[in-house]
Amino acid sequence: MPESGHFYDGAAYDPRGSVGLLLRRVSGSISRVVNARMEQHGLTQAQWGPLYLLQRCQCHTAAEVAREIGLDTGTVTRTLDRLEDKGFLRRERSTDDRRVVNLVLTPEGERAIAPVPHVIAEVLNAHLAGFTRAEHDQLAALLTRMLANGEQLHACRRSHGAGPSD
């Protein structure tokens, strides 16, 4: 019986039973279905993702959006340029710090992302079909614990001199 936290052995590792691969496949499945449904509303993931973050996650700058999405600022800035060209957002200089440019959703942007939470809820509910409330809550708690473990590993690596991309 493996000790706590030692469920895999590199010499006998089989990715088909890997929690990491299963997480990636579930995440990919959710993303594919959400993206297909959002295309019906005229938005790609590259578009609705940043707009939704601006509305719901208190991201106010390109750097904050990039950090939340996990992409480089240059890529996010080009996407934000396109969203601004479509009239979904505008950039405003901060009155507190002139170096900071805040992103603000326009009424057109608000209308464009209105279906996002409904689509996400439908897709997640479909992926959780057959789960009980207790199973849902347990899965969420377990994934939260895994995420905290990963964040602790990342913080440890950074404090010991490894780069942020390691």
> Per-residue pLDDT tens for 1-42?
445 778 888 888 888 889 999 999 999 999 999 999 999 998
Contact 123, 40 (CB under 8 A): no
pLDDT score at 161: 65
pLDDT score at 118: 96
Count of domains for the chain:
2
Residue 76 CB neighbour total at 10 angstroms: 23
Examine the domain organization and report whether 138 and 120 are in the same domain: no
Record the pTM: 0.78
In a domain, 3, yes or no: no
DSSP 2: P
Examine the domain organization and report whether 23 and 99 are in the same domain: yes
User: Which pLDDT tens digit goes with each residue over 133-158?
Assistant: 999 999 999 999 999 999 999 887 77
Examine the domain organization and report whether 33 and 79 are in the same domain: yes
DSSP 3: P
pLDDT score at 142: 96
Range of the domain at 156: 131-166
Examine the domain organization and report whether 78 and 88 are in the same domain: yes
Percent of the chain with pLDDT over 90: 64
Q: CB burial class (10 A; 0-12, 13-18, 19+) of residue 37? A: middle
